[in-house]
Structures are given as structure tokens and as C-alpha cells.
């Protein structure tokens, strides 16, 4: 991550944990996990790596399903929260914690070590996202292994400025913006389009096999609608919207599942 990003997450771990308890944070987690569940085997235990794991919210859910998850984060405060979450959930034995930087992934783990690598909401904060994707690709065990990516979208910033803030000028600027403003901690955050992410995947010898939108319209619902009371209905609607190609591109976040672009002949030997 950038130095600013490191400082944000080290000093603001509790703030991030509080955000994940809000309806917006829960939707981001629940929708991404629901998408993953459609792809993961139900009877086989996987070895997973969660890059920039934060509080370990997704990792703990994977561990509860019997998978072994290594959590990597550059913030000790985040890892401490993740450890507590794993202990409370009774899955500490399936969780391994590693303090380190995703940019140094190739020096921290052997290549071809994981069946699943999570790269959720981390590429927005790194200086060279292609480098992180290349390292993540090297960590995948074989051509059947999955890289799960969640990134913030340019389209979402366009709609946010127009609908939430009523700022037409900002909405127009965001049509071509590569960076947006991150409201939880402050500072800039990288924005992605389907084309820009596809180009990065290609540079890392990866190809997308599934794409979903996360939070298509929930951020823009009128205030008279209780996000808490209507949460399950909103979640159900978001799952359906995010799976439809005409709605997914305008979501606040893009969830992309990728695999090695070229079939590894060693897999079939």
C-alpha cells in the first residue's frame, strides 16, 4: 500500500470495524461472500489467502465452512481484530495470521500455494496494482484456483456525486477520474472501470471468469427506507441486480473472479 494507506489502516482499525457493522459495510461483505459461495466446493477444504484481510470478516466465514485461511495485512491493529473475531467464532485453529505487505507477496509465500486468493478492496490503495495481481497470480496453485477481486468503480463515483451530493460538475469530472475521495479515512482512492481492470488482469496473465456488481442502488435509496429494517429485502434485490450485466457496471464496487489465462499443462499430468 501507499504510506498514507498504511497509516490510515493502522490507526483507524476500529473505525473500519465499525463501518463493516453498518448496512453499507455489511452489504459489501455479504454480497461478495454470496458470489464466492456460488463458486467454492462444498465438500473440499481449500487453502486460502486473504490479502489486506482487515478485520478478517470474510476469512472467518470461509473458516467456518472448513477452509484454512492465511490472513495477510500490513496493520497489526487489523490482525489483532481478526484474531479476536476468529477466536469468538471458534475457528482460530483454521486461521493463520501474517504481518506483511501485499506488495511483497512473492517473498512471503511460496508460489502455487493457495486454491483461493482474496484481493478485496486493496488494489484501490496500492501504487502498482498490476504488481499485486501478478504476485497473487503466482500464489494460485493451478488453473482451477480462484482469485477474487473487489474494487471501487469509476461509475459508482459518477452516480454518487450526482445522486447523493447533487454535484453535477463533480459527476462530470468523475467520468474520466482515475482517483476518487475515500470518505472513511480521507485521502484519495483508485477508481476502476471494467476495461481498466481487464487490462490489468491481462498484464498479470489472468482472465475474468465471472463479474458482479456490489451495491448497485442501495446507496441511493431515500432516507425514509430503513436500511436495517429492510436489510434482507435490499440484500436480495442487490444480489439480483449485481448478477445482471445491464446493472452491474454502475455498481459502487465491482467483484471479479479470475483464473490463470492459459491452461497449465502440469495440472493434467
Domain ranges of the chain: 3-154+188-260
Name beta bridge partners: 253: 152, 214
pLDDT mean over 61-66: 96
| Contact yes or no for 115/145 (Cβ under 8 A) | yes
pLDDT at 266 over 70: no
- Tell me, yes or no, if the pTM score tops 0.75: yes
The pLDDT value given to residue 243: 97
pLDDT at 118 over 60: yes
pLDDT at 107 over 60: yes
**Around 10, how many Cα atoms within 13 Å sit in the side-chain half-sphere?**
13
Strand boundaries in the chain, DSSP class E: 47-51, 68-73, 95-99, 116-120, 146-152, 179-181, 188-190, 206-214, 253-260
How many C-beta atoms lie closer than 10 Å to residue 169's C-beta?
9
- Write out the three cell numbers for 213: 456488481
pLDDT at 197 over 60: yes
| Contact yes or no for 41/159 (Cβ under 8 A) | no
DSSP sequence for 234-256: HHHHHHHHHTSTTTGGGSSEEEE
Residue in 231, 189, 249 with CA at minimum distance from that of residue 27:
231
Q: How confident is the model at residue 43 (pLDDT cuts 50, 70, 90)?
A: confident
Higher pLDDT, 182 or 146: 146
Higher pLDDT, 261 or 236: 236
CATH class of 3-154+188-260: alpha beta
Higher pLDDT, 212 or 181: 212
Residue in 210, 50, 201 with CA at minimum distance from that of residue 118:
50
Q: How confident is the model at residue 103 (pLDDT cuts 50, 70, 90)?
A: confident
C-alpha 264/C-alpha 269 separation (Å) is: 10
Name beta bridge partners: 259: 207
Amino acid at each position: 500500500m501507499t504510506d498514507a494507506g498504511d497509516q490510515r489502516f493502522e490507526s483507524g482499525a476500529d473505525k473500519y470495524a465499525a463501518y463493516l457493522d453498518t448496512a453499507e459495510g455489511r452489504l459489501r461483505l455479504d454480497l461478495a461472500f454470496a458470489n464466492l459461495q456460488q463458486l467454492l466446493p462444498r465438500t473440499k477444504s481449500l487453502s486460502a489467502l486473504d490479502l489486506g484481510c482487515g478485520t478478517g470478516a470474510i476469512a472467518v466465514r470461509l473458516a467456518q465452512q472448513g477452509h484454512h485461511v492465511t490472513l495477510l495485512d500490513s496493520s497489526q491493529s487489523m490482525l489483532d481484530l481478526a484474531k479476536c473475531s476468529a477466536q469468538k467464532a471458534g475457528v482460530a485453529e483454521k486461521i493463520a495470521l501474517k504481518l506483511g505487505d501485499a506488495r511483497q507477496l512473492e517473498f512471503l509465500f511460496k508460489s502455487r500455494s493457495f486454491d483461493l486468493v482474496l484481493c478485496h478492496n486493496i488494489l484501490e490503495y496500492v501504487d502498482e496494482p498490476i504488481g499485486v495481481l501478478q504476485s497473487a497470480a503466482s500464489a494460485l496453485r493451478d488453473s482451477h484456483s480462484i482469485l477474487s477481486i473487489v474494487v471501487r468503480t469509476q461509475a459508482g463515483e459518477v452516480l454518487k456525486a450526482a445522486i447523493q451530493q447533487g454535484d453535477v460538475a463533480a459527476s462530470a469530472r468523475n467520468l474520466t477520474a482515475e482517483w476518487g475521495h475515500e470518505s472513511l479515512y480521507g485521502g484519495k482512492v483508485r477508481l476502476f472501470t471494467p476495461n481498466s481492470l481487464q487490462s490489468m488482469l491481462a498484464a498479470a496473465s489472468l482472465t475474468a471468469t465471472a463479474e458482479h456488481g456490489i451495491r448497485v442502488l442501495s446507496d441511493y435509496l431515500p432516507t425514509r427506507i430503513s436500511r436495517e429494517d429492510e436489510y434482507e429485502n435490499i440484500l436480495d434485490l442487490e444480489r439480483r441486480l449485481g448478477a445482471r450485466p445491464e446493472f452491474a457496471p454502475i455498481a459502487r464496487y465491482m467483484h471479479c473472479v479470475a483464473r490463470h489465462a492459459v491452461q497449465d499443462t502440469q495440472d493434467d499430468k
